[in-house]
């Protein structure tokens, strides 16, 4: 089995959470320090990305000899406000400690900083190195989790390879989702009713604004597993479940949208967390109509797309997905 990866503009992390922590400076500063820019009136010429795998320094002046003020990580998004030959001026939010009338306060404000033009480029120029893609921080089998203090390489179960956008699009056009929609099944007034062989299975929304929230959605039917597929949005997560059409019992539960292989032998779910900076890949086997969780890996160096239709199996049982550095 192969996993094919393409990095393109299908998934964009577009905020400063991609940046590493700015240098924290202490001491006495005049309250006018820094080249402040207005967050709303300053024109952004275009956005770009850090394409230097080692990251990109930024300075208060166009002077790379002196110590840099801070550093942005590989893949970080930047806003360009001025082009200056070999330099680029960017708008970036800076954390400073200022001395105001004898009291130290923290200031978070947009400032103008300078970076070298050679270190920026388009999103399509960024690739997570294959050896970084393959690194895992944990492995779980039979509910027994092994955490690796130093990231280790994934075993030989999977193969990772980049493809170009043209191949990705061509394979996507020929892909098939085995969770098939049924337009006759609709939720009414927050109530989802699934007709079983004998009786019905009901799911009632609870649209509260606390941790009791439950919002159900019908995803479709999986005929060869004799199952319905639903999702349930909770306070901080979304659950995905298969439900037996005859008994109404839960057949399987997934931490993200389940992707069924065309040969109907495997399922993969990919859950990416921007906050935890990792992707959780869970691999299942299908034995007759039974779904068995085989292994779960945690990848610390990349995210996958949050849009499930961007991830798909090709007809030759290879999984395609966009990814971005975490």
Q: Per residue in 222-232, pLDDT tens?
A: 999 999 999 99
Dihedral, 311, 315, 316, 319 alpha carbons, nearest 10: 10
Identify the weakest region by mean pLDDT among 19-33, 129-143, 287-301.
19-33
- Bigger pLDDT: 16 vs 269: 269
Q: Is residue 3 included in any domain, yes or no?
A: no
For range 184-212, the mean pLDDT = 92
Mean pLDDT of the chain: 85
Report the share of the chain in percent with pLDDT over 90.
Answer: 55
For residue 19, the model assigns a pLDDT of 28
Asked if residue 29 has pLDDT above 80, the reply is: no
Identify the weakest region by mean pLDDT among 15-24, 126-135, 193-202, 262-271.
15-24
| Same domain flag for 162 and 113 | no
Task: Report how far apart, in Å, the C-alpha atoms of 15 and of each of 12, 75, 102, 133, 274 are.
Answer: 9, 11, 34, 22, 11
| Same domain flag for 115 and 204 | no
Q: Is residue 2 included in any domain, yes or no?
A: no
Contacts (Cβ under 8 Å, ≥6 apart) of 96: 25, 29, 33, 34, 106, 107, 109
| Same domain flag for 184 and 135 | yes
| Same domain flag for 36 and 179 | no
Q: Of 124, 145, 172, which one is at a domain's C-terminal end?
A: 124
Asked if residue 120 has pLDDT above 60, the reply is: yes
Contact between 181 and 220 under an 8 Å Cβ cutoff? The reply is: yes
* pLDDT tens per residue, range 37-68: 888 889 999 999 998 988 899 999 998 888 89
For residue 66, the model assigns a pLDDT of 86
Q: Is residue 118 included in any domain, yes or no?
A: yes
Asked if residue 127 has pLDDT above 80, the reply is: no
Dihedral, 217, 218, 222, 226 alpha carbons, nearest 10: 110
| Same domain flag for 238 and 309 | yes
Q: What is the bridge-based pairing of β-strands 160-162 and 77-84? A: unpaired
For range 2-6, the mean pLDDT = 48
Q: Is residue 246 included in any domain, yes or no?
A: yes
Contact between 218 and 192 under an 8 Å Cβ cutoff? The reply is: yes
> Which domain, by its residues, includes 52?
9-124
Asked if residue 9 has pLDDT above 60, the reply is: no
Asked if residue 5 has pLDDT above 50, the reply is: no
Asked if residue 28 has pLDDT above 70, the reply is: no
Please work out, in degrees rounded to the nearest 5, the angle formed at the alpha carbon of residue 321 by the alpha carbons of 270 and 241.
30
Q: With b meaning 16 or more CB within 10 Å and e meaning fewer, what string describes 235-261?
A: eeeeebbbbbbeebeebbebebbbbbb
Asked if residue 321 has pLDDT above 70, the reply is: yes
| Same domain flag for 200 and 293 | yes
Q: Of 85, 103, 124, which one is at a domain's C-terminal end?
A: 124
Report the share of the chain in percent with pLDDT over 70.
Answer: 90
Domain count, the chain: 2
- Report residue 32's pLDDT band, with 50, 70 and 90 as the boundaries: low
Q: Is residue 1 included in any domain, yes or no?
A: no
| Same domain flag for 222 and 321 | yes
Q: Of 124, 145, 165, which one is at a domain's C-terminal end?
A: 124
Asked if residue 71 has pLDDT above 70, the reply is: yes
| Same domain flag for 25 and 150 | no
For residue 152, the model assigns a pLDDT of 87
| Same domain flag for 35 and 54 | yes
């Amino acid at each position: 089995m192969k996993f094919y990866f393409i990095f393109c503009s299908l998934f964009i992390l577009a905020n400063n959470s991609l940046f590493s922590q700015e240098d924290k400076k202490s001491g006495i500063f005049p309250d006018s320090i820094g080249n402040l820019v207005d967050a709303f009136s300053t024109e952004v010429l275009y956005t770009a990305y850090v394409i230097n795998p080692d990251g990109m320094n930024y300075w208060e002046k166009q002077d790379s000899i002196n110590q840099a003020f801070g550093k942005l990580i590989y893949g970080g998004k930047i806003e360009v406000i001025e082009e200056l030959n070999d330099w680029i001026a960017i708008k970036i939010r800076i954390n400073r400690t200022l001395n105001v009338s004898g009291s130290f306060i923290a200031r978070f404000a947009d400032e103008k900083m300078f970076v070298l033009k050679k270190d920026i480029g388009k999103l399509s120029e960024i690739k997570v190195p294959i050896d970084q893609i393959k690194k895992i921080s944990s492995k779980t089998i039979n509910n027994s989790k092994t955490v690796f203090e130093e990231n280790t390489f994934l075993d030989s179960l999977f193969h990772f390879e980049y493809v170009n956008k043209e191949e990705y699009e061509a394979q996507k056009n020929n892909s098939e989702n085995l969770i098939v929609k049924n337009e006759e099944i609709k939720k009414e007034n927050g109530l989802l009713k699934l007709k079983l062989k004998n009786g019905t299975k009901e799911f009632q929304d609870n649209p509260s604004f606390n941790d009791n929230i439950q919002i159900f959605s019908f995803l479709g039917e999986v005929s060869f597993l004799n199952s319905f597929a639903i999702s349930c949005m909770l306070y901080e997560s979304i659950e995905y479940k298969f439900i037996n059409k005859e008994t109404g019992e839960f057949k399987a539960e997934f931490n993200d949208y389940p992707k069924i292989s065309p040969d109907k032998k495997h399922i993969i779910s990919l859950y990416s967390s921007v906050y935890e900076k990792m992707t959780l890949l869970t691999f299942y086997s299908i034995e007759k109509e039974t779904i068995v969780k085989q292994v779960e890996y945690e990848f610390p160096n990349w995210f996958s797309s949050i849009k499930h239709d961007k991830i798909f199996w090709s007809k030759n049982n290879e999984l395609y997905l966009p990814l971005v550095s975490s």
